[in-house]
Amino acid sequence: MQEIFSRRSIRNFEDRKVEREKVNRLLEAAMQAPSAQNQREWTFVVVDDKQELMVLSRVSPYSGMVAKSPVTIVVLCDTARLAVPEIWQQDMAACTENILLEAVHLGLGACWMGIAPSQERMDAVAKIVGAPPSVKVFGMVSVGYPAEGKENRFIDRFDRNAIHLNRW
């Protein structure tokens, strides 16, 4: 799957909207992710309002690209529906990675921003997007058409030393 190898974190975008069909496709990809006991407790807020993007971009020192993105997907977890509560972040990570890979497939660029487990940042994002108390913020993914020179591209990261056969 070529998308796995060419995906990069894209933090600069063209001044161009992402088509609604493409955003929907990203969310479809997210919802195809594996989850513990198939609990699929993810929920999303799609933010394309410039003012809200600006406010969201200030929740951490590492989320500045949110303000430059045409759309940012906030990935949240509905804890009211959790069958296996202790591993909700693993489910959210799987669905976030699906968004990143589908973005590459659609000719887009994306960047994952970690919010959990910082309670302060989780609370800040929840307040901005108006999430109810049972809904926890996991992270955010900014999406857009990559700016010139910032496209997805392969970097060889294969490390034979990280592999052990049968025993470490």
Ligand X SMILES: Cc1cc2nc3c(=O)[nH]c(=O)nc-3n(C[C@H](O)[C@H](O)[C@H](O)COP(=O)(O)O)c2cc1C
**Residue, CB closest to ligand X:** 114
Question: Which residue lies nearer to ligand X by CB, 82 or 146?
Answer: 146
Sole binder of ligand X in the list 57, 63, 69, 72 (CB under 6 A): 63
Burial of 1 (0-12, 13-18, 19+ CB in 10 A): exposed
Position 12 contacts ligand X (CB under 6 A): no
Sole binder of ligand X in the list 16, 20, 24, 62 (CB under 6 A): 62
The C-alpha atoms of residue 17 and residue 38 are separated, in whole angstroms, by: 33
Q: Report CA torsion sign: 95, 99, 101, 105.
A: positive
Sole binder of ligand X in the list 29, 47, 113, 131 (CB under 6 A): 113
Find out whether 44 and 75 touch, Cβ atoms under 8 Å. yes
Task: Please give the full DSSP string across 29-47, using - where no structure is assigned.
Answer: HHTTS--GGG---EEEEEE
Position 5 contacts ligand X (CB under 6 A): no
Residue given tokens 């969201």 in the structure block? 56
Sole binder of ligand X in the list 26, 106, 111, 122 (CB under 6 A): 111
Position 71 contacts ligand X (CB under 6 A): no
Question: Which residue lies nearer to ligand X by CB, 18 or 103?
Answer: 103
Reading the block at residue 147, the tokens are 């700016």
Residues that bind ligand X (CB under 6 A): 8-9, 11, 60, 62-63, 111-114
